Amino acid sequence: MLLIGVAAAVAVLAVVVTVAVLPDARRGVPAPDRPGPVLLVPGYGGGTGGIEALAQRIRATGRDATVVVPPGDGTGDLNRQADRLDEEVERLLRAGAPSVDLVGYSAGGVVVRLWVQNHDGVVKARRVVTLGSPHHGAEIAGAGAAAAAGACPQACQQLAPGSRLLRGLSTPVPTPPQWLAVWTARDRTVTPPESARLEGATNVELQVICPSSTLDHAGLPTDPTATALVLQAIGAGPIQPPNGCVSS
């Protein structure tokens, strides 16, 4: 009986050790060398045209890519949008995804940061890319927040420079995951454009790569060079900017 008891204890211990050391996406442990599905988060207002085009480019490489539509009209609480994103992440991890990568366009990048911070994203995500995101706020949101009551919905207020939400975000961003922040110096929506710079990320201003680029905010999800940056960042290798402009 003693030998049987010892054998049983050893067997249980072996199972526990195996569960503890094997990467298990269902337990929220990403496998950094195994790219999985990609989730894309649209900007303020929830429009999906440009970000869906980027999703199609990602799918063309053989990856699963899903645009996460925010609740309501996309102008409500960014925290609730992060909750919605977490529902999609958990669905994929429960289905056996080895990891998730995230791409946030404009305000969607702030939503992704909230998700990483408030939903254990450091143990769920492999790579994060933000495109023209107002990490330090946008002047247009600040002007709206200072206008008449009701002129600036909740997400607009949260994106105003110095807002309580932005002050509460971890800076520098936690790693893992690996981060890439991309923006254009010709941005006229997120101003100043340097608001898209993210401490702790690999930061790329598109005009450093393409000095003659006149790309604006709306064109970021479909720009060939920005797309190349995204595809490289969510690939298997380390994040590295391209050597020059990409024409198509």
pLDDT digits (tens, 9 = 90+) for 167-206: 999 999 999 999 999 999 999 999 999 999 999 999 999 9
**127 bridge partner residues:** 101, 178
22 part of a folded domain: no
pLDDT at 32: 55
Q: Around 231, how many Cα atoms within 13 Å sit in the side-chain half-sphere?
A: 19
* Segment 75-89, tens digit of pLDDT: 999 999 999 999 999
204 part of a folded domain: yes
What stretch of H or E contains 146?
helix 139-146
pLDDT at 144: 84
The secondary structure of residue 151, as a DSSP letter, is S
Instruction: Say how far apart CA 116 and CA 169 lie, in whole Å.
Output: 10
47 part of a folded domain: yes
Residues of the chain below pLDDT 50: 1-28
Check which CATH number belongs to the domain holding 77 and give it: 3.40.50.1820
User: Please, are residues 104 and 51 in contact by the beta-carbon 8 Å criterion?
Assistant: no
pTM of the model: 0.86
Instruction: Say how far apart CA 39 and CA 55 lie, in whole Å.
Output: 9
Domain region containing 176: 35-133+171-233
User: Please, are residues 154 and 77 in contact by the beta-carbon 8 Å criterion?
Assistant: yes
Domain count for the chain: 1
140 part of a folded domain: no
